[in-house]
Amino acid sequence: MSHVDFRTSPARYKHWRLSVDGPVATLTLDVDEQAGLQPGYELKLNSYDLGVDIELYDATQRLRFEHPGVKAVVVTSGKDKIFCAGANIRMLAAAAHSWKVNFCKFTNETRNGIEDATENSGQVYLAALNGTASGGGYELALACDRILLVDDRSSVVSLPELPLLGVLPGTGGLTRVTDKRHVRRDLADYFATRAEGVGGRKAEQWKLVDEVVPRAKWEEIVSERARAAAQAAPRLPGGPGVELTALDKTRAGDAIGYEHVSAALDRDRGVAEITVLGPDADAPASMDEARALGDAFWPLAMTRELDDLILDLRTNEPEIGAWVVRTRGSAERVLAHDALLLANAGPDWLANEIVLYLKRTLKRLDVTSRSLIALVEPGSCFAGSLLELALAADRSFMLAGVFEDVDPGADPAALTIGAMNLGPLPMGNGLTRLQTRFFGDPDALAAAGKRAAEPLAAEDAAALGLVTFAPDDLDWDDEVRLALEERGSFSPDALTGLEANYRFAGPETMETKIFGRLTAWQNWIFYRPNASGPGGALRAYGTGQRPDFDRKRV
């Protein structure tokens, strides 16, 4: 199979239509059955595969950046009687375990992004279910702020995964039903075992939807609710939008390159060496100047490239188990760009959007099942927003001094805590990466915070607990090499579990519950013969055969 490419644009969409009418946009799902990403299945009943989801993600990003005037987004279907039947079962049944897991992860991230737009961008999503929404289709609706369901005696919402497929509604469904919509758990249990779903008044009474609307009044009410949502939405004023032009990317052999981000893949060692470049120019003097740069403005350009690289490596390179992250450039310029964004993120929609996008992209790292190792070397610019890359890492090494053989006259490596590290880029658990790092140790957190804005040498950074190890030139190569070799020798599954636990110290949120509790159970269930074995429910579905279950509970 060729590499999955996450780059697309509305003109190339096969499955979605994006239309904008003043402050209201409409995203219409109208899946092309024959245009699945891979051969072997037809996308019937508006069911989706990764290709459909890639377009949805692209649309949500463009709505934020290209359509600052849009305050409400209606998600609906272009088919009659069906909103969306969820993830395509044939695709799931045939897919490798790692594909299923990554597909669900990306789907989850897009849905979290929809909630982020509603909550933090003042761009409110409404699900207009003009037909039945089942499984992942209903889970997409659950990510919206408001759910309208047509009342035509046949359209329902349902989570049929458990009764029909022997798996969970695993892209947020179980968590959002109780924790977001506050459906009582025994009703939620009943609902999730009832393949035929729930419609009409009962769906509203049980809080599964917000409103059921007679077919005759459908267009009118949907339009009214969208306009009212747009009116109430606190989206920052501004315009015109910033066009997200096609990412300039090269991918040849073992190298992936963009303007500010690159990766060299070492397949023998299972390592990707990622380098992020700081800005190659001083920060603009104002957001107006930044806006004039369009999507070439460094924080936006770098974040888009990093985002695409994460998705590419996760999907296309499952055997590259460790990502080594370096930065190169001027820490002052990084901090100046950060400062411009943060000074304006209140009033300026673009500054706000860029910070939110960076936040979402860093969150992708947190839920990526790869070992993340940061290397802080002379010439690097781990400061502010880019320091988050080191704080997201499972382990970090910082060179004490310089590489004597390479550049004895270089300035020693330094890292700098900036305002970006102290609040605007929380993880899914609601804490900053510094707070998570020093969870339960307020003194250490305060000590680090006091040194903000000061370039810290390796000895200081290590003493403050900001890096894991600070070897000198003599030990550096061996220590880093051993750490990577060792990582490559461990069970990839155990590392995934270890990292998924350690990265989220402290509180859990709906988001981390989805990625932790729900996803972990789903991964397990996906893997068990009762779902994926020759007689399992996923394979039996549609064959007329009853699945052959091992009845033992665990």
- Binding to a copy of itself (CB under 8 A) within 341-400 occurs at 369-370, 393-396
Which residues in 412-441 contact a copy of itself (CB under 8 A)? 436-441
Choose the binding region for a copy of itself from 81-89, 123-131, 164-172, 454-462 (rule: CB under 8 A): 164-172
Choose the binding region for a copy of itself from 287-295, 338-346, 357-365, 500-508 (rule: CB under 8 A): 500-508
Q: Please state whether the peptide bond connecting residue 240 to the residue before it is cis, i.e. omega within 30 degrees of 0.
A: yes
Which residues in 204-263 contact a copy of itself (CB under 8 A)? none
The verdict on 161 binding a copy of itself (CB under 8 A) reads yes
Give residue 126's identity as a one-letter amino acid code.
Answer: L
For residue 441, the minimal CB distance to a copy of itself (Å) is 5
Which residues in 104-143 contact a copy of itself (CB under 8 A)? none
The CA distance from 317 to 108, in Å, is 20
Choose the binding region for a copy of itself from 36-44, 60-68, 186-194, 455-463 (rule: CB under 8 A): 186-194
For residue 543, the minimal CB distance to a copy of itself (Å) is 16
Residue with tokens 């880029």: 425
Which residues in 511-530 contact a copy of itself (CB under 8 A)? 513, 516-518, 520-525, 527-528, 530
Binding residue (CB under 8 A) for a copy of itself from 3, 44, 182, 215: 182
CA proximity to 354, closest of 364, 340, 341, 339? 341
Residue 404 DSSP label: T
* Residue closer to a copy of itself (CB basis): 116 or 499: 499
Question: Which tokens belong to 118?
Answer: 């509603």
Contact 4, 53 (CB under 8 A): no
Q: What angle do CA 173, 174, 178 make, to 5 degrees?
A: 110
The verdict on 447 binding a copy of itself (CB under 8 A) reads no
Question: Which tokens belong to 28?
Answer: 């219409």
Binding residue (CB under 8 A) for a copy of itself from 36, 86, 136, 166: 166
DSSP calls for 159-201: --IIIIISS--TTTHHHHHHHTS---HHHHHHHHT-TT-B-HH
Choose the binding region for a copy of itself from 36-44, 50-58, 77-85, 161-169 (rule: CB under 8 A): 161-169
Binding residue (CB under 8 A) for a copy of itself from 51, 137, 199, 321: 321
Binding residue (CB under 8 A) for a copy of itself from 28, 98, 316, 330: 98
Give residue 276's identity as a one-letter amino acid code.
Answer: V
**Cβ-Cβ contacts under 8 Å for 51 (sequence gap 6 or more):** 14, 15, 35, 36, 37
- Strand 211-214 relative to strand 146-151: parallel, antiparallel, unpaired? parallel
* Residue closer to a copy of itself (CB basis): 55 or 499: 499
For residue 199, the minimal CB distance to a copy of itself (Å) is 19
The CA distance from 483 to 486, in Å, is 5
For residue 321, the minimal CB distance to a copy of itself (Å) is 5
For residue 229, the minimal CB distance to a copy of itself (Å) is 21
* Residue closer to a copy of itself (CB basis): 162 or 354: 162
The CA distance from 129 to 135, in Å, is 13
Binding residue (CB under 8 A) for a copy of itself from 184, 215, 217, 450: 184
**b (16+ CB within 10 A) / e for 424-437:** bbbbbbebbbbbbb
Q: Report how many residues bind a copy of itself under the rule CB under 8 A.
A: 89
Residue 423 DSSP label: T
* Residue closer to a copy of itself (CB basis): 294 or 529: 529
* Residue closer to a copy of itself (CB basis): 71 or 363: 363
For residue 504, the minimal CB distance to a copy of itself (Å) is 8
The verdict on 500 binding a copy of itself (CB under 8 A) reads yes
Binding residue (CB under 8 A) for a copy of itself from 149, 495, 511, 539: 495
The CA distance from 312 to 374, in Å, is 19
Contact 397, 427 (CB under 8 A): no
**Cβ-Cβ contacts under 8 Å for 109 (sequence gap 6 or more):** 57, 360, 363, 364, 367
Binding residue (CB under 8 A) for a copy of itself from 39, 494, 534, 544: 494
Can you list the positions of beta strands (E) in 199-301? 211-214, 250-252, 255-257, 261-266, 271-277
Binding residue (CB under 8 A) for a copy of itself from 34, 250, 491, 543: 491
* Residue closer to a copy of itself (CB basis): 161 or 308: 161
